[in-house]
Structure 1
Amino acid sequence: MTPLTSVLQAHQFHAVIPEPLQFGRGLIVDLSPASELWNKVTSTHNFADEIAYQATAMNAQIVIGRYAEQRLIYQDKANFSNSKNRTVHMGIDLGVPSLTPVFAPLDGEIHSIANHQGEGDYGPTIILRHQLEGIAFFTLYGHLHQAAHTQLHVGDHIQAGQQFTAIGTTAENGGWAPHLHLQIIEDMGTNTDDYIGVVDPAELDFYLRNCPNPNLILKCSDLD
């Protein structure tokens, strides 16, 4: 366990989205190659359709995509055209309606604001920088609603619990169903307003250390 992981595990954070959603009835989606979900996919009923069907059937308040899961859903996206080996998801996806508020889980400052508009990319993205018990780290929020944070600037202080953005629409979020991609990053390296969210399995050991499980912040018991 790294020092950052230990600190995050011991700390209580503000909810990232409204608590009734974050801690409500959840559908945890398995998008790995072995998932039974793929047996329900046809030429007229894609995986997003099946997830929506399952969520409605169980009256789910949130759809959750798992951390460190291997997925083969990216390879037909333009953003992955030069990186077909990237298959492991390094964030947690929180599937909730577009325009749902997004709150800072702890005090931080705006490290970067960007709008990555390639097919399959993050769309509008914010990265916050934090200090906790002397350890610096970052949280990345992808697939946002651009209009919700137009007044923000790099360097702005964001307080724990402050709404600083909202969930984006499919039209602006890289083409995905509305959701938040939350990722923890210990060291940004040479990256500025972006950080890889789906990695090559050959590099997984590094990214597991540098991008610990976002459930350390979310504290969703269903993901323990």
Structure 2
Amino acid sequence: MNPSTFNTFLKQLSWKTHSVLSPNIKPSAYVPINLSQTNPQLNTFNIASSSDWEKFIQSYLKSHQAKVAYGGYLEQRNIYKRSGYFNPSSNNMERNIHLGVDFWLDAGEAIYAPLDATIHSFNNNTNYGDYGPTIILKHTIENQVFFTLYGHLSLESIKGIKQGDIIQQGEAFASLGTAEVNGDYAPHLHFQIIRDIADYKGDYPGVCSKKNLDKFKSNCPDPNVLLNL
């Protein structure tokens, strides 16, 4: 299935997809947020500090009378400059283009399966600025197989689970972690769709370089198509 056809497939699924956050959060409580390097507001605080980020997000939500700030697909971000994990010695391989959608809200909030799934894999990715606890779900729908990744979870989310566990659509299967465990970020969910996961287990690049953008964009379509944000 080529990328265009797969996007059409996701759009058709979107009408029966469950929210990845609590269904009790009203659509009016969501607000888009721009965290790209072009946003001058990000020059007003220390973007290397998770506590400063949390204050910024909470202020943003309060000013918009919202509970969730969301966005970020294909945003080019400066926040990754703080970690050598995203910045190899070759400058043209700097990874700063975001491949998923982020949902910024309080730690401890439950995460729900958008579709029926099984647990493909999970891991605690502990590099500085990495995902922290991560779960990848495998979806098999209409003979199509694809994957969804959930990053920056709580440690409790990956305890007592195993590969192959069945997760029902709408089931709360994880929760958001704090900065102490989630890679040192303000609490948020990184949600990403992956068509071909190759040999990855419990991890998959959520940020890519400009040089590799075409490849990753093809393999990781816009989650907005599925989630109807």
Which of 74, 78, 87 is equivalent to 1:68?
A: 74
Deviation for aligned residue 1:48 = 4.5
Aligned partner of 2:122: which letter?
I
Deviation for aligned residue 1:119 = 1.1
Q: Deviations over 1:82-132 (max 9, x none)?
A: 376111000000111111111111011100010011110000000011112
Q: Does 1:141 align with 2:150?
A: yes
Aligned partner of 1:76: which letter?
R
Q: Does 1:8 align with 2:10?
A: yes
Q: Cα RMSD (Å) of the superposition?
A: 2.1
Change (3 A) 1:186 1:42: closer
TM-score (norm. length: structure 1): 0.90
The corresponding residue for 1:36 is 40
Aligned partner of 2:75: which letter?
E
Which of 197, 203, 213 is equivalent to 2:206?
A: 197
The corresponding residue for 1:87 is 96
Of the structure 1 ranges 39-48 and 197-206, higher mean CA displacement relative to structure 2 is found in: 39-48
4+ residue stretches of structure 1 with deviation over 4 A? 42-48
Contact preservation (8 Å) 1:110, 1:129: yes
Contact preservation (8 Å) 1:91, 1:182: yes
Q: Does 1:21 align with 2:25?
A: yes
Deviation for aligned residue 1:22 = 6.7
Deviation for aligned residue 1:16 = 0.7
Deviation for aligned residue 1:3 = 2.5
Distance across 2 between alignment mates of 1:56 and 1:76: 27
TM-score (norm. length: structure 2): 0.88
Q: Deviations over 1:64-84 (max 9, x none)?
A: 132011111101124324376
Structure 1 unmatched ranges of 5 or more: none
Distance across 1 between alignment mates of 2:56 and 2:109: 22
Aligned partner of 1:61: which letter?
K
Q: How many residues align?
A: 220
Q: Deviations over 1:19-64 (max 9, x none)?
A: 2437242332212222131343369994543332222222211011
Equivalent positions of 1:97-176 (< 5 A) are 97-176=106-185
Change (3 A) 1:181 1:42: closer
Which of 47, 59, 65 is equivalent to 2:65?
A: 59
Distance across 1 between alignment mates of 2:26 and 2:71: 13
